[in-house]
């Protein structure tokens, strides 16, 4: 159990989260809409009786409407009263519990059985941890069942069904051409004041044992709609509608025009976030807040998926 403090300081907890994004209007809270952040913050607040500091989750990557997650990460700061609430038995105040475990149990209970969002793990982390800015990389998966795949109706939410046949080798050639440090403006939905320079560290395609195509993408960060646009470019190549060489000039352009469409959200899942060792968390967060350029890092930048 964490020590009880009276200096007004907070204790930070890391939450590992999974959700089916089908019925959510994305991660971020929006007035009048059901969002992952809104459901989780409301559940934790309800368990606490809406006492103490407001519950606000900071997330590793804000996902769009319809996007799923198996390895999303967020953090929340609890004040002394809230931490004690999760650390002490409701029936016997002399009995203490791990606050992360109790937050998980009680918040998931408040959300309900068979919910489409679940806290998988919760634990106290060092003060230097920031779910968003301490991240070294994020990993996504995109799944497609084309005309030669064995389709499973139980997987219809996280898999895009396509009634055409894709050339996975051509798609891998396209993916290979996109890897590296680039300005991905042509593959992103623009956000005022945010850079579109990213390092795409890994982009692999394969067919699994059922013939389903799976794309694995890892980058230091992804800008808005970037994953679905990158997948869209590969799918256009895999269908023979464009060539790999047609993609390369896009790094010198600010938009992709009508060359290929952005893929639907339903096939996309946020699967993992990588962080450095505890001693390097704060330094990494400070570095990430700087603006990316093709030659280095300058200024501050508010950057996320």
The answer to whether 116 is a known catalytic residue is no
What is the C-alpha separation between 270 and 60, in angstroms, rounded? 10
Catalytic, out of 7, 16, 20, 64: 64
Max CA separation in the chain (angstroms): 68
Catalytic residues: 64
């Amino acid at each position: 159990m964490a020590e009880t403090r009276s200096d007004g300081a907070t204790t930070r907890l890391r939450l590992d989260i999974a959700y089916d994004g089908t019925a959510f209007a994305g991660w971020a809270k929006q007035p009048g809409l059901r969002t992952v952040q809104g459901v989780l913050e409301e559940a934790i607040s309800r368990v606490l009786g809406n006492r103490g500091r407001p519950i606000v989750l900071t997330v590793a990557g804000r996902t769009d409407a319809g996007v799923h997650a198996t390895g999303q990460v967020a953090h929340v700061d609890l004040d002394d009263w809230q931490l004690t609430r999760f650390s002490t038995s409701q029936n016997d105040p002399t009995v203490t519990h791990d606050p992360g475990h109790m937050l998980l149990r009680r918040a998931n209970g408040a959300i309900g059985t068979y919910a489409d969002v679940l806290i998988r793990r919760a634990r106290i982390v060092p003060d230097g941890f920031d779910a968003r800015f301490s991240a070294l990389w994020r990993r996504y998966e995109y799944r497609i069942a084309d005309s030669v795949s064995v389709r499973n109706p139980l997987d219809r939410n996280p898999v895009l069904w396509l009634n055409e046949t894709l050339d996975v080798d051509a798609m891998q050639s396209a993916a290979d051409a996109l890897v590296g440090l680039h300005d991905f403006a042509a593959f992103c939905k623009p956000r005022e004041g945010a850079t579109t320079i990213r390092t795409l560290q890994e982009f692999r395609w394969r067919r699994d044992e059922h013939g389903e195509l799976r794309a694995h993408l890892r980058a230091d960060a992804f800008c808005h709609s970037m994953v679905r646009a990158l997948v869209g470019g590969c799918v256009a190549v895999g269908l023979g509608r464009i060539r790999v060489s047609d993609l390369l000039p896009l790094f010198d352009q600010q938009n992709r025009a009508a060359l290929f469409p952005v893929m639907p959200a339903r096939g996309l899942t946020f699967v993992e976030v990588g962080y450095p060792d505890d001693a390097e968390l704060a330094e990494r967060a400070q570095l990430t807040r700087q603006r990316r350029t093709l030659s280095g890092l300058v200024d501050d930048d508010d950057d996320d998926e």
